[in-house]
Amino acid sequence: MAASDTKFLTDLPRFVFFTGKGGVGKTSIACASALALTRVGKTVLLVSTDPASNVGQVFGLTIGNTITAIESVPGLSALEIDPEQAAEAYRDRIVGPVRGLLPEAEIASITEQLSGSCTTEVASFDEFTALLTDPDEQLSQFDHVLFDTAPTGHTIRLLQLPGNWTDFLAAGKGDASCLGPLAGLDKQKAMYAAAVAALADPDRTRLVLVARPSRSALNEIDRTHTELAALGLGRQYVVVNAVLPAPVDDTDPLAAAVHRREQAALAALPAPLAALPQDRLELKAANMVGLDALARLFDTASGAVDSAPARDIGEMPDLADAPLRALIDEIEVDGHGLVMCMGKGGVGKTTVAAAIAVALAERGHPVHLTTTDPAAHLTDTLRGGIEHLHVSRIDPAEAARAYQDRVMATKGAHLDEAGRATLAEDLRSPCTEEVAVFQAFSKVIQESRHTFVVVDTAPTGHTLLLLDATGSYHREITRQMGQGLHYTTPLMRLQDPDSTKVLLITLAETTPVLEAAALQDDLQRADIHPWAWVINNCVAAAAPISPLLRRRADAELEQIETVRTRLSDRCTVIPLLPTEPVGVPALAALTAATAAVPLP
């Protein structure tokens, strides 16, 4: 396959969005696409809003929030939008119209409510709108604009809310939620409508769903496809990245087993995805850094293995470290507590959470395994029950309905008909679900005072919003209780290492490690300190034999060393397995070994 053979680059419209979870390779594919387009004479702007963006690293230079020419690639420029800077500017623009109309205390409250991750997400898209609509024709020089990190259905639904929160606030009829004012300013509504229209127009915009060939990753993009198609963005393309080529011989049982597993996942592709135009990119031996590597991403003619040899087996370092079993030994000591598995989608949070819960239950402890992830499939992972283990799911839709009813019955009771209509509209926003989940989450935290509770959290952005809600609740209780009274809020329990152990799940690859490190920084700013890191699906820990996998193992070592020496004092490495750990026996096997798998 060459770039000219890829379906997603054929008859390309002006705007292209690449969407996918951390670590699936969307940045590499976006960069390689930009390079391919410039080599046929197109001018391209590459835009990223990923807070862990490594676009600059890929091209070997620093890129900021201004359009920067890539001198080594004539015709290519790049722009990295800083989400936090965008959010700050957005807050100023939203709060500005109501300054002087409301008391300072209410202004402060609105500003605080606009501090969540939803605000950051929408603020980043606010930057997109100027690029999609280009009212000043600043981008007229570019034939194509490629976006690394597409807006989610969550964001688009938010932008479609038609209410006028400026009038609502100015009239003093109610407060803003974390989202209220974002959707309502009239001066922004026309631009938002134009941006959403551009996204839905296949002659102007193409959405590319990027995944890896695993059951969970393909299920994730299936959900994204369904959600976006329901909003009118139905013309989508699928790119399955890093597909292991068929082994040339049977010398490496691991390579053969992984290939069979990936092909089975691809054969079971959900029908709506299978109907979309699809490209499959072979796994490459080297990391996608530098022009030479990017130029080979779409190429299969020369084979997947680079010419540089992998280390001999004897030269690979021993990766024996604290095994998952040892972490569980430490977790078990107190006899109860909260264990939270966090990280980006697709890194194996559900598997690790289920394995920990099964191990504790097998040791005779009552365990509650639950998830706040709307895409989680705990029952599919467990495929059965086990004594002492209770499994549940915090249902966002159900929590949202209860929350909406409660707010309308309390705050809405004091509003006139127009005010109630506006409040009801705001409560239909997608973030209402996430905020409503907080109450169910608080009950889980309380339960962990007496038993083990293992939480498979939602993807990082959703998790941070949940913790924002926890922090807001903590501040409100602090104000209400005053000095001298004893109380313990959910945030205080999350901050207590004796009550809560936060595990960050990642892969031994650049983007997932960067994203997990950014999450750790965010948590630490809230005085929540991750207890351990888990590096999942590690090729280097699986003692591969095939040259391709040994080169991949080589590329992982730098990231493993970064985690173990710079990011965490406690780290577990789980090797890439021949089969996915699905079912109670397979999950139990993950924690049965007395040591992590070392390389010979």
The most confident of the ranges 55-59, 109-113, 175-179, 550-554 is 550-554
Residues with Cβ within 8 Å of residue 432, at least 6 apart in sequence: 177, 179, 400, 403, 404, 426
3-300 folds as Rossmann fold (3.40.50)
Report the chain's C-alpha Rg in angstroms: 24
Of 583 and 87, more confident: 583
Question: Could you tell me if 322 and 572 are in contact, meaning their C-beta atoms sit under 8 angstroms apart?
Answer: yes
Chain position carrying tokens 């059965």: 384
Residue 147, beta-bridge partner list:
17, 47
Q: What is the pLDDT of residue 3?
A: 62
| pLDDT tens string 519-547 | 898 888 878 899 999 999 999 888 888 98
d(CA 363, CA 498): 20
Tell me the mean pLDDT in the region 508-526. Answer: 85
Token pair for residue 339? 């264990």
Token pair for residue 288? 């996608």
CA 577 to mean position of chain CA atoms:
23
For a pLDDT cut of 70, what percent of the chain falls above it? Answer: 76
Tell me the mean pLDDT in the region 285-294. Answer: 75
DSSP letter for each residue of 231-280:
TT---EEEEEEEEPPPPSSSS-HHHHHHHHHHHHHHHT--HHHHTS-EEE
Residues with Cβ within 8 Å of residue 106, at least 6 apart in sequence: 175
Tell me the mean pLDDT in the region 272-288. Answer: 88
DSSP letter at 102?
B
Q: What is the mean pLDDT of the chain?
A: 79
Pairing status of strand 68-69 against strand 76-80: antiparallel
Residue 442: count of CB within 10 angstroms of its CB = 16
Q: Where does the pLDDT of residue 266 fall: very low under 50, low under 70, confident under 90, or very high at 90 and above?
A: very high
Q: What is the pLDDT of residue 190?
A: 72
Q: Where does the pLDDT of residue 43 fall: very low under 50, low under 70, confident under 90, or very high at 90 and above?
A: very high
| pLDDT tens string 559-575 | 999 999 999 999 999 98
Chain position carrying tokens 């379906």: 7
Q: What is the pLDDT of residue 110?
A: 72
Q: Where does the pLDDT of residue 164 fall: very low under 50, low under 70, confident under 90, or very high at 90 and above?
A: very low
Question: Could you tell me if 465 and 117 are in contact, meaning their C-beta atoms sit under 8 angstroms apart?
Answer: yes
324-590 folds as Rossmann fold (3.40.50)
Of 110 and 347, more confident: 347
Helix (H) / strand (E) element for 473: namely helix 460-481
Q: 94-103, 155-164, 522-531: which has the minimum mean pLDDT?
A: 155-164
Q: So which residues are the catalytic ones?
A: 23, 25-28, 50, 511
Show the CA angle centred on residue 573, arms to residues 448 and 268, nearest 5°: 85
Per residue, the 3-state secondary structure of 13-80, as one string, reads: CCEEEEECCCCCCHHHHHHHHHHHHHCCCCCEEEEECCCCCCHHHHHCCCCCCCCEECCCCCCEEEEE
Q: 39-43, 89-93, 118-122, 405-409: which has the minimum mean pLDDT?
A: 118-122
Amino acid at 598: P
Q: What is the pLDDT of residue 438?
A: 72
3-state secondary structure at position 535: strand
Q: Where does the pLDDT of residue 166 fall: very low under 50, low under 70, confident under 90, or very high at 90 and above?
A: very low
Amino acid at 493: R
Residues with Cβ within 8 Å of residue 405, at least 6 apart in sequence: none
Does residue 162 carry a pLDDT above 70? no
| pLDDT tens string 208-235 | 999 999 887 888 788 888 888 887 888 8
Q: What is the pLDDT of residue 4?
A: 63
Domain ranges of the chain: 3-300, 324-590
Of 458 and 282, more confident: 282
Q: What is the pLDDT of residue 466?
A: 61
Token pair for residue 127? 């930057």
For a pLDDT cut of 90, what percent of the chain falls above it? Answer: 27
Q: Where does the pLDDT of residue 599 fall: very low under 50, low under 70, confident under 90, or very high at 90 and above?
A: very low
Q: What is the pLDDT of residue 117?
A: 61
pTM of the model: 0.77
Q: What is the pLDDT of residue 568?
A: 94
Tell me the mean pLDDT in the region 291-308. Answer: 66
Q: 34-38, 291-295, 342-346, 435-439: which has the minimum mean pLDDT?
A: 435-439
Q: Where does the pLDDT of residue 291 fall: very low under 50, low under 70, confident under 90, or very high at 90 and above?
A: confident
Of 285 and 241, more confident: 241
Domains 3-300 and 324-590 share a fold: yes
| pLDDT tens string 105-144 | 777 767 766 766 667 766 777 777 778 887 777 788 999 9
Amino acid at 32: A
Closest CA to 490 of 509, 506, 469: 469
